[in-house]
Structure 1
Amino acid sequence: MARHWRGLTLGLGLLALLCAALPAAAESVLDRVSRTGVLKAGTRDLVRPFAFRDASGQFTGFSVDLIHAFHRALEQRLDREITLEIIQVDAQSRISKVADGSLDISCDIASKTWARDAVIDFSLTIFFNGTRILTERQFGLAGLPALQGKRVGVIANSSTITVIRNTVPGAEIVPFADMNQAMAALEAGEVEGISNISIILRGLQRRASQPGRYVVLPRADYLNAEPMACILPQNDSPWRDFIDRTLVRLMKGVEEYRGPYFEIYQKWFGPDGDLHYPLNQEAIRHLTEIRSWIDE
């Protein structure tokens, strides 16, 4: 009997050691927010009209309105008040801060890439656009070959760098901290082109001192289609499912130019918005496809 108890004790000891060696299950953002009452979201401040600061210094924009929509849905889901903290990030820190748990979500104009997906997860698409190049009219009329060997400004550490290397391999890539700096360099003749998603370039062109001096390339297509998404923590299925289901519900009716998502879109990109950029059929098809879930 003594030998039996010694064996049982040894077995329990080994089991305890094994349990101690196993990593604790990571707490879902949903559980943490329910426990702490705080949602931490990141966004950028110089990607107008997606995310920027208004005259009072508060974050505003299309992506910021989506963050507020997630916040409202979260309060309804948890049946309690939740404090929303919006924290400024840049093209690089938005990835690292979500990956290390400092942020629960980050929304601006993040493109989906496999390299990023290795350390974070993405929501469903929040906006569909594509990469182009804004350049002097003299180069634009000659087409993309005219930019071979020329200087093209991009955001440092952005996915645009890969797109330019793949589509205009002879271009010299010049990194900038933000697109306002890149546009200033284009107007000063320090670069021959700048690249980002088309809608950002259109906004910069509109605010230029001489808008007619510039054209976008390619004229009728994208260098690369860009489905943009919010950045979420890796391997947190309950939180990702909550964000995606909220997006699907927001997009209800978008194919008929109605519903919550369309209202937010019109606020920023409609005729009276910050930048007039009508929702085209290509974008609607993409958004309609991602919301084709059966709501059981």
Structure 2
Amino acid sequence: MRMAKIVALAVAMTMFVASAAFAGPVYDKIMQTKKVRVGIMTDSIPGAFYNEKGEWVGFDYDIATEVAKRMGVEIDRVAVNNQTRISFLQQGRIDISVANMTHTRERDKSIDFSITYFFDGQKVLAKKGQFTSLNDMVGKKIATMQGTTSELNLKAALKAAGDPDYDKNVISYQKESQCFQALQSGRVAGWSTDATILLGYASKTPGAYELVGDFLSDEPYGMGLPQDDSALRDAVNMAIQDMWRDGTYMEIYNKWYGPGTPFEMPMSDQIELWP
């Protein structure tokens, strides 16, 4: 028993020393190691996904790369999804989350956010010609992602539209690709999330799907950051603003959402700029 306690104490001391080595602001650690770990999605078209060649690409991918460049450090990209993009930050497995994440007051209780770096809104995608509004979809099953603002917004919208079974008719999946597969196979009549994501998946089969009805919500995207690290938050915010000022932001935006792209969506707002 005595030996077991000694071993347990040694393990605890080792863990304490290891954690102490990385204690302090995350920004200081990034500057010391010259590397920033950024959480990025892998199946969020066109935010961040694998293309036909197996290359990791997308708007968030390019924006994250540029932020790291302007911070003067290398980027270490870490795959995240809707379930891990916040928890990885809290666990210290990533330093920044650039993962099409809406900045909400509820999320702000557990992590910090950058200024808004992308402007989107939630809609519903359905097979072309079947529905004209969400009211037409009352009683139908609609897919969304589990644990997202889209899930909450969709339930509220269906309830407001008079669907008595709104809770049961919202079918939640772990991944966006699973939502699209459910729509393709007919297991659901629609899929609701941010419009840019829906446009990205709809582009796989041009003309087969369309966005239905009005926006269900505004979705201001922020980069997720560790709590209470103002130096890191300032560095990220300055990088975003500088990208806007010198035109780099719009170059990246137009690459993915500009005229002639499969995901065309006019810029609807502008980045917050500080004097």
TM-score (ref. length: structure 1): 0.78
Q: In the alignment, which of 203, 227, 245 is matched to residue 234 of structure 1? A: 227
**How far apart in 1 are the matches of 2:261 and 2:189?**
30
Do the aligned partners of 1:140 and 1:215 also contact (CA within 8 Å) in 2? no
Does 2:145 match 1:152? no
Superposed CA deviations along residues 135-192 of structure 1, whole A, max 9, x for unmatched, are 2445423x22122221110012111111111111233111122222212211221111
Instruction: State how far apart, in whole Å, the 2-side matches of 1:73 and 1:277 are.
Output: 26
Alignment match, 2:9: none
Structure 2, gaps ≥5 residues long: 1-19
The 3 A distance-change label for structure 1 pair 71 and 274 is farther
Contact 1:49–1:274, Cα closer than 8 Å, also in 2: no
Amino acid at match of 1:267: K
User: Counterpart of 2:255 in structure 1: which amino acid?
Assistant: K
Q: Deviations for 1:224-267, whole angstroms, at most 9, x for unmatched residues? A: 011111111111111101101111111116xxxxx110011111
2:192 alignment counterpart? 195
Deviations 1:101-123 (A, max 9, x none): 11100102101122211110111
- 1:116 corresponds in structure 2 to 107
Whole-Å Cα distance in 2 between the matches of residues 174 and 32 of structure 1? 41
SS of equivalent to 1:94:
coil
Per the alignment, residue 179 of structure 1 pairs with 176
Secondary structure in 2 matching 1:111:
coil
TM-score, scaled to structure 2: 0.83
The one-letter code sitting in structure 2 at the alignment partner of 1:33 is: I
Unpaired runs of 5+ residues, structure 1, are 1-23, 76-81, 254-258
Identity among equivalent positions (%) equals 29
* Structure 1 position 207, deviation (Å): 1.5
Q: Bigger relative contact order, structure 1 or 2, given CA contacts below 8 A and separation 6+?
A: 2
In 1, Cα distance between equivalents of 2:128 and 2:37 = 43
Work out the CA distance in 2 between the residues paired with 1:166 and 1:112: 19
Quote the residue 1:161 is aligned against.
Answer: 151
Contact 1:131 1:226 (C-alpha < 8 Å) held by counterparts: yes
Return the alpha-carbon distance in structure 2 between the equivalents of residues 197 and 151 of structure 1.
18
List per-residue Cα deviations over 1:61-90 (Å, max 9, x = no partner).
Answer: 111111111111111xxxxxx332101011
How far, CA to CA, are the matches of 2:220 and 2:212 in structure 1? 19
Does the residue aligned with 1:110 lie in a helix, a strand or coil?
Answer: coil
Letter in 2 for 1:71: A
The residue aligned with 1:270 is 258
| Partner residue, 1:69 | 66
Q: 1:272 to 1:137 in 2, by over 3 A?
A: closer
SS in 1 for 2:101: strand
Q: Conserved in 2, the CA contact under 8 Å of 1:135 and 1:217?
A: yes
Offset, 1:215? 2.9
Give the Cα separation in 2 of the matches to 1:47 and 1:189. 21
Describe the SS at the equivalent of 2:251.
helix
Alignment of 1:1-296 (within 5 A): 27-54=24-51, 57-75=54-72, 82-137=73-128, 139-141=130-132, 143-169=133-159, 170=163, 171=166, 172-208=169-205, 211-218=206-213, 221-252=214-245, 259-273=247-261, 275-279=263-267, 283-284=268-269, 287-288=270-271, 290-291=272-273, 293-294=274-275
1:238 partner letter: A
1: CA distance, partners of 2:56 / 2:184 = 27
Alignment RMSD, CA only? 2.1
Alignment-mate amino acid for residue 217 of structure 1: V
